[in-house]
Structure 1
Amino acid sequence: MGIFMLKFGEGVLGRDITAIVNVVLGKGETIDTVFTNALTRVPTPILANLRDNLIVKPLTLVVPRNTLNSDIQCNLLHGPIQYGVAKAVVDLDLDGDLKLIVTVSVPDVPYTTLNKRKLFQYYYGATRLAISRALNDYPSKEKIKREKYRALHPLVGFRDIRLERPPYLQVALDVPSMENVEYVLESLPPSDRIIVEAGTPLIKKYGIEVVERIREIYDGFIVADLKTLDTGRVEVRMAFESTANAVVLSGTAPRETILKGIHECERCGIMSYLDTINVRDPFGLYNSLELKPDVLLLHRAIDEEEKVPMKEYRDVKRREKLLLGIAGGVTLENIEKLKNRYHIIVVGRGITKSRDPGRVARAIVNKLGDDIDQYRLYLEEDEDVPIR
């Protein structure tokens, strides 16, 4: 049996002009077939060479990712881009039995000495980077898991937060006034530890579309507090289509409604909350469910706060894959105690009725820990340095 290897890598460098390089490299029948098929396609890719009649070894195919619409793009591909790729392959002194397929993006920029130098330099560096990463199986699975909540795609501008770094402050917009909502949202500090809740009274007044109005002002993790009691699938889908990141189901709903709601959340890829307001045994309910919610919210109703004390739950964080939330009776004074026992701390009127909502929210967030951005790496400083 012959030797078989197939590896993949990516390198992106440059700022004003960006070099995007994807590499497939390997040895054996598979890469031979892919290489031959790519070489004979139309429009025809080009072999990397240092000059006419001097192709590099190992054999390297340069494939444009985009359609070339001008003579300038053709000249850039056949000139500085091809040369940058070829020079990188030669300088890395790779195993001659390998074959490489390098896809490149070809910009449409003025054909100047400066741009040609930039493209050569960027593609030389990006090709070296992509090949080295392919050979070293970069990134590792651990790296991807570590970065998935911090990654900020340059053409998207926001992160998809999945509540993987608790504790969080959930700001409950529990007043049916859009003017007040806008005031609170605009005052909130930018923090990865803040969740915004479209409260039940707000949704009842403005409809589920209020989630979209909130997102236009504060594009973070938004919970739709529907407290669903019936038609679990329908209400979850409505919230999903309004861009909610999570939906709150009521623990007093029929069992089938809860299960259908959780199942629909899983199908749509959003998180499920189970609100246990007026539920005597929240953990008994949780344990009895065949499908588990992502968040179990221990909730004391506003109407009973004066008469019913906040319940104490022992060892509440010792439950695998369950996020625990607490709502009702949360104050700035008891945040230190609660943050060590709960993953999500819900505050409503303490913020929304404050003269300075932003100050109160920041004071709470400061007690919860660092923001993700404080530990984001510039470029890839954690990429391992190979020992030669």
Structure 2
Amino acid sequence: MSDIWFRAGEATVLAKEGQATDAMPEVVIGSVKGPVGTAFASMMGQSVGHTRFFVIRDLNQMVRPPTMMTSKVTIPNSAYIELFGGVVQAALGDAIVDCLKEKIIPKKIVDEICIIITVWLDPRCADDPNLDKKDLYRTNYEATKIAIARALNGEPTVEELIENRDKIQHYALAGVLD
């Protein structure tokens, strides 16, 4: 039986130069019998502008543990949904399977937990004729693996947050508080 009731994690992986393919997934992982399971089941319907998908690697290849993905922003058009439900979904699926393969997620609990991932996909990607889909895949794959590992390992720790309180500030505050 899994002792994972509610774990949360996030990560940011930056795009290569000239791309808007930054990835910033936020994940919650928990028991199918707990609050994450309830939230997961509640997401089964659609919400206008915030499409939800099961994470699959390809047709008939839904990942385990069951994972639901949704967009952090309102989905503007079909080109966006194609990237979201294509390249990004594939990256998340591969990352989850690799988390199983690398024992980041213990195989023995895959039917006891579920995952919800909120995904950042910059709306500019859908209209970018020079979009590097390989970089979009890379950033989402890497960030998803990191976010899952952080969630399951309880990172950053409280000690790390306290230690870094005066060393690190939100990037949007650069120059603001000086």
Normalising by structure 2, we get a TM-score of: 0.82
Q: Distance in 2 between matches of 1:41 and 1:155?
A: 32
| CA deviation vs aligned residue, 1:271-305 (integer Å, no higher than 9, x gap) | xxxxxxxxxxxxxxxxxxxxxxxxxxxxxxxxxxx
The answer for the alignment partner of 1:101 in structure 2 is 116
The answer for the alignment partner of 2:30 in structure 1 is 26
* SS of alignment partner, residue 54 of structure 1: coil
Q: Distance in 2 between matches of 1:136 and 1:5?
A: 13
Alignment of 1:73-88 (within 5 A): 73-88=80-95
Q: Do structure 1's residue 7 and structure 2's residue 2 form an aligned pair? A: no
| CA deviation vs aligned residue, 1:29-48 (integer Å, no higher than 9, x gap) | 32211101122241340010
Aligned residue pairs total 161
* SS of alignment partner, residue 103 of structure 1: strand
Note the residue ranges of structure 1 that are not aligned, 5 or more in a row: 161-219, 221-388
> Is the CA contact 1:152–1:158 (under 8 Å) kept in the aligned structure 2?
no
> Is the CA contact 1:9–1:131 (under 8 Å) kept in the aligned structure 2?
yes
Alpha-carbon distance change, 137 to 4 in structure 1, aligned in 2, over 3 angstroms? closer
* SS of alignment partner, residue 49 of structure 1: coil
Alpha-carbon distance change, 146 to 2 in structure 1, aligned in 2, over 3 angstroms? closer
Q: Do structure 1's residue 37 and structure 2's residue 42 form an aligned pair? A: yes
Normalising by structure 1, we get a TM-score of: 0.39
Alignment of 1:7-156 (within 5 A): 7-15=7-15, 16=19, 17-27=21-31, 28-43=33-48, 44-93=51-100, 94=105, 95-96=109-110, 97-107=112-122, 108-109=124-125, 110=127, 115-156=132-173
Report the residue type matching 1:155 in the other structure.
Answer: A
* SS of alignment partner, residue 155 of structure 1: helix
Q: Distance in 2 between matches of 1:158 and 1:146?
A: 22
> Is the CA contact 2:5–2:34 (under 8 Å) kept in the aligned structure 1?
no
Quote the offset at 1:111 in angstroms. 5.6
Quote the offset at 1:156 in angstroms. 2.4
Q: Distance in 2 between matches of 1:50 and 1:2?
A: 25
Report the residue type matching 1:101 in the other structure.
Answer: I
* SS of alignment partner, residue 138 of structure 1: coil
Alignment of 1:206-245 (within 5 A): 220=178
Alpha-carbon distance change, 118 to 112 in structure 1, aligned in 2, over 3 angstroms? farther
Report the residue type matching 1:34 in the other structure.
Answer: A
Report the residue type matching 1:106 in the other structure.
Answer: L
Note the residue ranges of structure 2 that are not aligned, 5 or more in a row: none
Alpha-carbon distance change, 111 to 135 in structure 1, aligned in 2, over 3 angstroms? same
Quote the offset at 1:112 in angstroms. 5.6
| CA deviation vs aligned residue, 1:210-246 (integer Å, no higher than 9, x gap) | xxxxxxxxxx3xxxxxxxxxxxxxxxxxxxxxxxxxx
Q: Distance in 1 between matches of 2:175 and 2:118?
A: 27
Q: Which protein is bigger by CA-based radius of gyration? A: 1
